[in-house]
Copies of this chain bind each other. A is one copy, B any other.
């Protein structure tokens, strides 16, 4: 989903379009990796220097509510945000450059249900993330 779509989505929910929001949205939408609120603030200020950190938090809250971003959990912290993929997807994250790639793991659902069954559970959701090293990072030795 493009930046323009995000902003349109914003408008159609009755939210106003401001320079501050534009800067936050564009920063998150363009980033190949999950960013913390503080990182978003730093980056987005290059585009809109007046931007306050509070507005970053407030905008992320709305983006999350509209399902345009998702929070990414990692060993180093659980408060980084990434553009959301369409539908149900999972993340593959490079441990070196932090780049995040989505994949669908639909073929795993049967296995998950079976694991649950074995323990008397009916599985309703799952949470899966893979970590590794991307091609680019392997090449740059």
Whole-angstrom distance from the CB of A101 to the nearest CB of chain B? Answer: 5
Judge if A54 is at the interface, Cβ distance under 8 Å. Answer: no
In angstroms, Cα B73 to Cα A105, docked, is 20
Is there a chain B Cβ closer than 8 Å to A92's Cβ? yes
The one of B105, B108, B126 that contacts A131, using a Cβ cutoff of 8 Å: B126
**How many residues belonging to A are interface residues under a CB distance threshold of 8 Å?**
34
What CA separation (Å) do A80 and B101 show in the bound complex? 28
Is the C-beta of A122 less than 8 angstroms from some C-beta in chain B?
yes
Say yes or no: A103-B123 contact (C-beta < 8 A), given A78-B78, A108-B111, A111-B108.
no
26 contacts between A and B (CB under 8 A): A73-B73, A78-B78, A92-B116, A92-B119, A92-B121, A92-B123, A95-B124, A95-B125, A101-B119, A101-B121, A108-B108, A111-B111, A112-B130, A116-B132, A120-B134, A121-B130, A121-B135, A122-B132, A122-B133, A123-B132, A124-B132, A126-B128, A127-B127, A127-B129, A127-B131, A128-B129
